């Protein structure tokens, strides 16, 4: 199995099995727990062999996100991987959350979370970034995103990855302190 070439997703290799299991479920199942029609991950060789030992195929989980982000049928069929930063930019555009185009992925993730917090609270520039995952997903599920099976999967996956990275960053800062 090839490594995740996208440096923005390499941290998935450092996540716990439980954290990866949540991301696996987001990528494979709809909110009503039905299987996502376009997900190949659930029936992949890695999932069949390693089952709930998600750590052993964390790279494949990252690849699934990148493959599902394809906006063309041809790209989806060829399993072309969309760079994570491009996925973030696309979501920010769809949600009409302003951002600086020269920002790195970590800053874009923070902007996404802050933008969803602001929308949920009905205020601008609150600086808040602490609402629960479920509220952030609900706030981001616009009619346009709900109507697109890929975006319906990508939005919660990217929100979860953003929160996961932010939490890991805080823990690392506390450990260094």
Q: DSSP per residue over the chain, as a string?
A: -PPP--GGGGGGGGS-HHHHHHHHHHHHB-TTSPBPTT--GGGSHHHHHHTT-GGGGHHHHHHHHHHHT--SHHHHHTTPPPPHHHHHHHHHHHTT----TT--HHHHHHHHHHHHHHHHHT-SS-----S-HHHHHHHH--HHHHT-HHHHHHHHHHHHHHHHHHHHHHHHHHHH-
2 within some domain: no
> Closest Cα to residue 83, out of 100, 107, 66?
66
Per residue in 75-129, pLDDT (tens digit) is: 656 667 899 999 999 999 999 999 998 999 999 999 999 999 999 888 887 766 6
Percentage of the residues of the chain whose pLDDT score is greater than 90: 58
Q: Structure pTM?
A: 0.86
Are 61 and 3 in contact by the 8 Å Cβ rule? The answer is: no
Per residue in 45-86, pLDDT (tens digit) is: 898 899 999 989 999 999 999 988 886 666 656 667 899 999
Q: DSSP per residue over 99-130, as a string?
A: --TT--HHHHHHHHHHHHHHHHHT-SS-----
State the pLDDT at residue 173.
40
Let me know if 8 is exposed, middle or buried by CB neighbors in 10 A (0-12, 13-18, 19+). Answer: buried
76 within some domain: yes
95 within some domain: yes
Q: Helix 58-68 to helix 17-28 angle, to the nearest 10 degrees?
A: 30
Residues ≥6 apart with Cβ < 8 Å to 18: none
153 within some domain: yes
68 within some domain: yes
State the pLDDT at residue 140.
95
1 within some domain: no
- Domain region containing 14: 7-176
pLDDT value at 2 more than 70: no
State the pLDDT at residue 133.
93
> Closest Cα to residue 21, out of 49, 56, 45, 70?
56
136 within some domain: yes
What average pLDDT does the segment 11-21 reach?
A: 94
42 within some domain: yes
Indicate the number of domains in the chain.
1
């Amino acid at each position: 199995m090839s490594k995740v070439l996208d440096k923005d997703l390499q941290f998935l290799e450092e996540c716990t099995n439980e954290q990866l299991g949540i991301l696996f479920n987001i990528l494979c199942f709809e909110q009503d727990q039905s299987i996502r029609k376009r997900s190949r991950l659930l029936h992949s060789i890695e999932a069949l062999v390693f089952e709930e030992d998600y750590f052993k195929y964390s790279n494949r989980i990252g690849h699934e996100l990148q493959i599902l982000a394809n906006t063309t049928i041809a790209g989806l069929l060829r399993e072309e991987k969309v760079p994570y930063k491009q996925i973030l930019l696309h979501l920010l555009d769809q949600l009409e959350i302003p951002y600086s185009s020269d920002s790195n992925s970590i800053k874009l993730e923070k902007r996404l979370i802050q933008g969803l917090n602001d929308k949920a609270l009905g205020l601008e520039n609150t600086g808040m970034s602490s609402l629960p995952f479920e509220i952030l997903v609900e706030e981001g599920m616009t009619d346009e995103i709900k109507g697109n099976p890929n975006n319906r999967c990508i939005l919660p996956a990217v929100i979860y990855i953003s929160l996961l990275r932010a939490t890991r960053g805080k823990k690392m800062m506390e450990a260094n302190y």
